[in-house]
Amino acid sequence: MAHVLGIDIGGSGIKAAPVDTGTGKLVADRVKLATPQPSEREAVAAVVGDLVTTFDWTGPAGITFPGVVMDGTICTAVNLDPSWIGTDGRELFGTATGLPVTVLNDADAAGVAEMRFGAGAGQRGTVLLLTFGTGIGSALFIDGTLVPNTEFGHIEIRGKDAEKRASEHAREEQELSWGKWAGRVDEYLEQMERLLSPSLIIIGGGVSRKADKFLPLLTSLRAPIVPAAMHNDAGIVGAAMAAT
């Protein structure tokens, strides 16, 4: 299998590493740079270009974006500058990097990686992956097949986008205890379970490394809930897989 550069754009950071797409392993140390503020197109594209230069990369690259991506075009950008909406991501990042690039939703990329190499490997039925970070990303799979661009972080809970109450950013910004935050996550997951009846729920994003602090506090779910096996590398791996 090929080595492909995976780049994962988030609301606060942009991470990259080359990936062995046959094993799902990073073949060099991950590099992370801050997402520019304001997160305008040209500024973010420049950071992506810097990451490509860091690895002296000349082959294909996969790039995630935190929003709906349809055929390479970015359709939503809730946690980045609104100037992104309507942007041809393939053209923008291709010009910035000089590489052939594939662009897809960040949570979809993480989900693809987890279903192939991580916590969802071999799992049939309905699997829901949720990434808790700046917002809440979602990836839905039916018998291993991705239903793209679900954006379940924006369902309404108590009159607000769910991610405004239950993302990791909300926990940090509002200085919530793990118990208080787990209660909000519990309420959100209960609603997702009511809508989708998943066979398995996978929790991804950086907070998955701290699963022991909140998973035992969740009480209302029927479905098994597990942390992502690939933690915060899943988006990088899934991005690389998409570019093969």
Note the pTM of the prediction, 2 decimals.
0.96
Query: Per the domain annotation, does 58 fall within a domain?
Result: yes
Same-domain status, 25 and 83: yes
**pLDDT band, residue 116 (cuts 50/70/90):** very high
Q: Mean of the pLDDT values across residues 117-146?
A: 97
Question: Alpha-carbon distance 235 to 220, whole Å?
Answer: 28
Query: Per the domain annotation, does 115 fall within a domain?
Result: no
- The neighbour count for residue 9, using CB atoms within 10 Å, is 26
Query: Per the domain annotation, does 113 fall within a domain?
Result: no
Cα 142-1-115 angle, rounded to 5 deg: 20
Structure letter (DSSP) for residue 233:
G
Domain that holds residue 211: 122-228
Give percent of the chain above pLDDT 70.
100
Query: Per the domain annotation, does 114 fall within a domain?
Result: no
Q: Which CATH number covers residue 8?
A: 3.30.420.40
pLDDT in tens, 186-214: 999 999 999 999 999 999 998 999 999 99
Same-domain status, 211 and 129: yes
- Split into its structural domains, the chain has a count of 2
Q: Mean of the pLDDT values across residues 149-168?
A: 96
Same-domain status, 183 and 200: yes
Query: Per the domain annotation, does 18 fall within a domain?
Result: yes
Question: Alpha-carbon distance 137 to 129, whole Å?
Answer: 8
Query: Per the domain annotation, does 116 fall within a domain?
Result: no
Same-domain status, 219 and 238: no
Element (H, E) at 114: helix 106-117
